[in-house]
Amino acid sequence: MAKSEGGPDALIEKLLSEGYGDGFSKGAIVAGVVTAAAASAVFAGYLLADKFKSSNAKRIEKSDELKAAAADAIAKAEARGWYTVREMCEMTGGLVLAIGDRFRALTRDGDVIMIEVDERNDNPFFVSGSELQRISDFKLDDISDL
């Protein structure tokens, strides 16, 4: 309010000239304006704190869900075991699979398969399931769609 009136002094003068200050001193009006501003700031602070807590809790919950889903996918992949490449192929994204390479299928979304290639440090890779079927002993039906 003070900014829209040209500053705190202008706001106080306006309040006094419009009769809001009848029976009150200029100091009392200043104290009232400052108290109202402080109360607004405190209330806004509570709203922001609640919003931050809420969004932070949601972020933690989502993170926990993702960790659980990843652990589940890895457990299922370990149960399925390794697939072996029988034909050399350069996959989309630059991954080259050579004859004899082993991989595990972690998750599937349609034809896109997330794989872990044995003895590689730059895992995981996202590749075509139909391409994997063509070059290895992998079968799309071995892994359920997300």
Residue of higher predicted confidence among 127 and 62: 127
What is the signed CA dihedral for 68, 69, 70, 75, rounded to 10 degrees?
90
Residue of higher predicted confidence among 32 and 123: 123
* pLDDT at residue 127 tops 60: yes
pLDDT at 104: 93
Residue of higher predicted confidence among 98 and 19: 98
Asked whether 77 and 123 are in contact (CB, 8 A), the reply is no
For residue 79 the two structure tokens come to 């149960």
3-state helix, strand and coil shares in percent for the chain, rounded to the nearest 5: 55, 20, 30
CA distance 9 to 79: 75
pLDDT at 19: 60
* pLDDT at residue 41 tops 70: no
For residue 27 the two structure tokens come to 């100091």
CA distance 102 to 54: 44
pLDDT at 97: 96
Q: How confident is the model at residue 72 (pLDDT cuts 50, 70, 90)?
A: confident
Asked whether 123 and 105 are in contact (CB, 8 A), the reply is no
Asked whether 85 and 98 are in contact (CB, 8 A), the reply is yes
* pLDDT at residue 96 tops 90: yes
